[in-house]
Structure 1
Amino acid sequence: MAAGNITAGNTTPLARFSARTRLRALQADILELILERDLGPGDPLPTENELTAALGVGRNTLRESLKALQAVGVIEIRHGFGMFVAPSNFDALTDGLTFRARMSLRRHGEEAIKLVEVRQALESGLVGAAMDRITAEQLAGMEESVHRMEALAAAGESFIEADAEFHRRLFEPLNNELLISLMDVFWEVYRRIHLELGGPFAVDLHETAALHRRIYEAVASADKALAAERLSGHFDGIRSVIVQATG
């Protein structure tokens, strides 16, 4: 291959690099068009003919960009019906983070640990705001999740789902869909890590259930600093498990 056809220090052909850059630029243009026309989730996009005319591109190039945007959950293509702005959907984010976390388990778990650190910062930082708004009914729901964990621990059974439910109930008062979705992403990744490691983590189920009991008690007593401290300790435990499992 002639030297003029490749980038310096890179074997990627310039033509391919330029094509990729043009596709990214076209995807950005499509996003801007959606915003400029004030389209919301579920709203139909212009037809292919309208988009090719508005954006000045060919049909094949447009379709390639639309497929890329569909893959990341921005648009939804319904064959026979048209194209629509996709509803909030974290499937692509979940898939990407799950893959990265599972791959990191073969490399000392670094990315999985970073994910835990992000979640730890989110929950520890927001628990006080959640406590300001929590109702007696929501507190009762948290305690119900604790009872479930304690029962499963007594039976020697893992309780990842009950753990996830506890955290969702804790932050439900914030009425923040994005936060709850990110939490669900985390627990799906955590569940897949659990399966990847081939069985139950080397954790003390009784101690983990007791820790959640202590978090609940701190929330119920309106002690924000203690609740944040105990939440942070919970994630220290998860981080330790990943470190031990990946050696």
Structure 2
Amino acid sequence: MRTPSAPLGVAVVTDLVGAIVTGELQPGDVLPPESSLSQQFGVSRTVIRESVKRVEEKGLLTVAQGRGTTVNPATAWNVLDPVVLSALVDHDDSLGVLDELTVVRASLEASMASAAASRQTPELSAALEEAYQRSVATFDDFETYIDADAEFHYTVMEQSGNLLAANITHILFARARESSRFTGAVTQEALVLTLAEHKAILDAIVAGNAEQAAATMHDHICGAWSRRRQSVSRS
């Protein structure tokens, strides 16, 4: 059913993507004709046509003349599309998507930390130190601290000079942060560990130790998710 509070086209797109991601619509399934979808969602056929086109652009559907509109396998989906990624994360009861996201993010950020270490200048080092110090200064204010935490990571990404990796990671990280499954139950002990790990990453990058920077960043991201995952699994 269409979400009443959302604009017509956006709601239809979100519902169709959700139905495909959850398996309500399986690969190879043929969508009902426009007239049926129009009645089902309570919108005009024009809205349905435009919505289907948007979902097709995300890789979830194939529209073929004479064969109708069929659902594509997951390998064809644009999983970095915000609507698709949101649906995957929102329906990730097993945490498998967030596990995969962590693996990809850890690999990309480790590579970027290595690159940042290789490109250090006094100005870049000062900027990274400043980002770290903002985390220290906001430690007792959780809402402000998590923003400072993210800013530290974004600073490393920017200093890597790898625009593509930074953009992909930014999309993954930003969407994951919106999920309570990703954030988990944050404890004081976890925050202390995170701050210490950031300091180790900072030291390795500023020292120009690319190998150590990569290893420390990779371990930090995987370790932080492992700690949060345990709290989510217990809840």
TM bucket, shorter chain: 0.5 to 0.7
Q: Which residue of 1 aligns with 2:186?
A: 201
Q: Could you say what secondary structure the match of 2:179 adopts?
A: helix
Which of 166, 180, 205 lines up with 2:152 in the alignment? 166
- Tell me which residue corresponds to 2:110: 124
The 8 Å contact of residues 131 and 219 in structure 1, kept in 2 or not, is answered as: yes
Which entry has the higher C-alpha Rg, 1 or 2? 1
With normalisation by structure 2, the TM-score equals: 0.61
What is the total number of aligned residue pairs between the two structures?
177
Structure 2: gaps (5+ residues): 1-24, 34-45, 60-77
TM-aligned CA distance change 1:199 to 1:173, over 3 Å: closer
Q: Secondary structure at the match of 1:134?
A: coil
Query: CA, structure 1 residues 211+123, in 2 after alignment: closer, same or farther (shift >3 Å)?
Result: same
* Alpha-carbon distance in 1 for matches of 2:148, 2:51: 42
Partner of 1:177: 163
Tell me the distance in 1 between the aligned counterparts of 2:204 and 2:175.
Answer: 27
Other-structure match for 1:210: 196
Picking from 80, 83, 107, the partner of 1:95 is 83
What does residue 33 of structure 1 align with? none
Give the equivalent residue in structure 1 for 2:138: 152
Q: Distance in 2 between matches of 1:233 and 1:15?
A: 42
Query: Partners of 1:140 and 1:189 in 2: how far apart?
Result: 29
CA contact (8 A) 2:135 2:195 kept: yes
Alpha-carbon separation, structure 1, partners of 2:79 and 2:52: 19
Q: What one-letter code is carried by the residue in structure 2 that aligns with 1:242? A: R
Overall identity of the aligned pairs, in %: 22
Q: Tell me whether 137-146 or 59-68 shows the greater mean CA deviation.
A: 59-68
Query: Is the 8 Å Cα contact of residues 119 and 160 (structure 2) preserved in structure 1?
Result: yes
Q: Which amino acid counterpart does residue 201 of structure 1 have in structure 2?
A: V
TM-superposed deviation, 1:246: 2.2
Shift of 1:137: 1.8
Residue of structure 2 aligned with 1:242, choices 221, 226, 229: 229
* Compared CA separation, residues 118 and 71, structure 1 to 2 (3 A): closer
Offset, 1:208 = 1.0
Q: Which amino acid aligns with 2:210?
A: K
Alignment RMSD (CA, Å): 3.7
Contact in 1 for aligned 2:89/2:179 (Cα 8 Å): yes
- Structure 1 runs not aligned, ≥5 long: 1-10, 20-58, 73-89
C-alpha deviation, 1:67, in angstroms: 3.8
